[in-house]
Structure 1
C-alpha cells in the first residue's frame, strides 16, 4: 500500500458522540474504477450513490465507508470543532460508528458511494439530545468489520481499529 492514510480520533462534542476507540480513516487516491464493485468484493454492501447531508449527522449502529466517486468537496468531520477535510475523486473515508460528518462545499459534480460492513442497515442520527442518549450505548455494541473496504484481509482498518 503506497497511499497516504490520515487518522483522526475525535472526542464527544455536544450532541455528537463521535467514537472514543476507533479513529476516522482517510485513504487518499485509492479508489479506481467501479467503487461499488470494490466495496462489494470486500463485503461492504447495502451501497448507495449520492451526496452527503449538509447537516451534522452520524450512524450509531454501523460503520460506514464513503468513496468519492466524482468531483471534490470540503467535509466537516467530528462536529463543529472537528476538522475540515478536502476530499476528491478516488479518496475513501472509513467512518466509525458515532463519528459526525457533514458536507460544507464542493464541486457541482460531487458524488459519493457509501457502503456498510456485511451489508448492515444504517441509521441516521442528528445532533440532538434525543438521538444522543440512545446512541452512546449502541455505538459500543457495533462490531469491528471483518474486512477492509479496499484491501479485504489486510489494510488500515486492521492497523488502526482495535477494541
Structure 2
C-alpha cells in the first residue's frame, strides 16, 4: 500500500493548526493538516505521493517549490507533498507559524491559508494537488486582491469528499465537516 510505504501506518494522524484572519490573509475556519512521514525510501517518492493523492480524488497538477512571498488561494484547497529536500514554511501569514518539512511530509492547506517559503535546500521539491472541482486555482497576495471578494470565494467552496492522504478515513473528513 502506498500510504504505508510513506507513513508507516494504515491511518496516520496529522498535526492540526488553525490560523485566524489577520485582515491581510483570510486563512480558514478549517485547520491546516500536516502529516509527518517516515519516508526512509525516497526513490520514486514524488510518483508515490502523486499516486496517493490521485487515489483519494485529488489529481496532481505540478511539481516544484513554494513561492518566497506570502500568498494564498481563494478558490481552491491545496495539498503539498515533499518529494525531496527540506524547507521551512511560514503558514498563516506574517503573524503565523514556521513549520519545517521533510521528504514524505504532507501539508493540506484549506483555501485562504497563507503560506510562504522561508528557506529550502537546493534539492527541495514538492508535488501539489487540488480537489477535482478546484483545479483552476488562483494566486492571491496580501494587498493585491480584494479581501472581501476573496473571503466570499472561500465561503463558497465545498469540503472535499476525501482526505488526500487517508481517504474517507482521514482527518480532513472529520475535522473540516
Structure 1-normalised TM-score?
0.92
Q: Which runs of 4+ in 1 moved over 4 A?
A: none
Is residue 2:44 matched to residue 1:29?
Answer: no
Structure 2-normalised TM-score?
0.85
Whole-angstrom CA distance in 2 between matches of 1:67 and 1:46: 10
Whole-angstrom CA distance in 2 between matches of 1:30 and 1:66: 16
Is residue 2:52 matched to residue 1:44?
Answer: no
Q: Which has the higher strand share?
A: 1
CA RMSD of aligned residues (A): 1.7
Unmatched runs of 5 consecutive residues or more in structure 2: 1-9
CA offset at residue 2 of structure 1?
Answer: 5.8
- Higher gyration radius (CA): 2
CA offset at residue 133 of structure 1?
Answer: 2.6
Whole-angstrom CA distance in 1 between matches of 2:38 and 2:159: 21
Whole-angstrom CA distance in 1 between matches of 2:35 and 2:60: 21
Whole-angstrom CA distance in 2 between matches of 1:67 and 1:131: 29
Whole-angstrom CA distance in 1 between matches of 2:147 and 2:38: 33
Whole-angstrom CA distance in 2 between matches of 1:41 and 1:121: 20
Q: Which has the higher helix share?
A: 2
Unmatched runs of 5 consecutive residues or more in structure 1: none
